[in-house]
A = this chain, B = another copy of it.
């Protein structure tokens, strides 16, 4: 597997663009993105499990019922959720895009992100469509910028892999960065590939992958109303279509996982206000679910997150979060290490503190990416979760988000 440039346009037959159309007042911020496949693509998606679902998810779910799609339109600046005519606006958006591209409205994936509870005016999107489509090309970066909200960096990645002697490519873009605590689904992520794979196997791959990737990310414990991941596979790599499990499917899963893990780390590290990416790895759990529960509880703990912001090796808060996680753990066997490029340090063994150099701990915790390595001494279950620190800027960003 090789990382390549090009994001969602790296795979054959995919073009993208992103522009400012006027949903946002700030003209320097793009607010709409379009991804287009030259040929019909098989498509799969997972959606937020929040009972409050944004209108575009309902519309997209209906459009993807046949496992096919050819375009993705996504606006930022307005979530199109909890308003009176959201479904109508999402359907109108799909219809306009379809008309201009000469495809069916039911082959359009529609998504939104931004403030909840405001009516979304379709006019700026309608007025911007000609420019958006005219500019379609190798512009993954513009699309990645078009879906950003409080994200400080664009999130895109692409990889190549071999299937049946053919080189396939897969790329993705994502947006974070607040209201991130996926529940059996995830935030907004759009992935494209030219690999030939059936809709059924594509859905299977995606559903299996998100359990270990996007579902293991939390920025603030708030599961969004607008979470969605979609994958479009247009088959233009020319490989024999993957229609069952086997070596090719495993290769595809591996490629998908490398794209999703990269985006998870980007989303967590660019969490609202974050200065650090936290990666909590748990091993020695009695089973995988126990490891997941522990890892997620630690990266969700406000006190642990604040301690990491302060580069404070306050490991007692990690023990505390393990203890209240609900997982079946023998707390007297727990070990905790902090790891970064500056080194590693053991701070807790058998559930109790060990003497350690505060100076070295500080040095390790001052880095941008911190590993919290937990051993449970109780079996072979392992898991990884990603989060970020809790900072002044998180409060600043969210204390007055709407203005």
Contacts and interface: CB of A to CB of B under 8 A. Distances in A.
Contact of A303 (B50, B306, B319, B398): B398
A300 B220 CA distance: 10
Given A52-B322, A83-B353, A351-B82, A178 B303 contact: yes
A399 B275 CA distance: 12
A276 B53 CA distance: 30
A302 B225 contact: no
B319 A399 contact: no
Interface in A283-339: 300-303, 306-307, 309-310, 312, 314-317, 319-324, 329, 331
Interface stretch (A19-27, A115-123, A160-168, A255-263): A115-123
A382 B124 CA distance: 43
A55 to B, nearest CB: 11
Given A303-B178, A319-B52, A395-B394, A353 B221 contact: no
A391 interface: yes
Contacts of A397: 306
B310 A400 contact: yes
A348 B84 CA distance: 11
A224 interface: yes
A320 B395 contact: no
B352 A117 contact: yes
B52 A351 contact: yes
Interface residues on A, range: 35 or more
Counted per complex, copies of this chain come to 2
Nearest to A308: B399
A402 B312 CA distance: 8
Contacts of A395: 306, 309, 390-392, 394-395
A368 interface: no
Nearest to A115: B316
B316 A116 contact: yes
A66 to B, nearest CB: 28
Contacts of A310: 398-401
Given A224-B320, A320-B225, A392 B401 contact: no
Nearest to A307: B398
Contacts of A307: 398-399, 401
23 contacts: A51-B324, A52-B320, A52-B323, A52-B351, A81-B316, A82-B351, A82-B353, A83-B353, A84-B352, A116-B316, A117-B348, A118-B353, A178-B303, A220-B302, A221-B221, A222-B301, A222-B321, A223-B323, A225-B319, A302-B302, A307-B398, A310-B400, A390-B395
- Interface pairs A-B: 8 shortest CB-CB: A116-B316, A52-B323, A310-B399, A306-B398, A223-B324, A117-B316, A310-B400, A50-B323
Given A51-B323, A83-B352, A312-B399, 14 more contacts: A52-B320, A116-B316, A117-B315, A117-B352, A220-B302, A221-B302, A222-B324, A223-B320, A306-B394, A306-B397, A307-B398, A309-B399, A312-B403, A390-B398
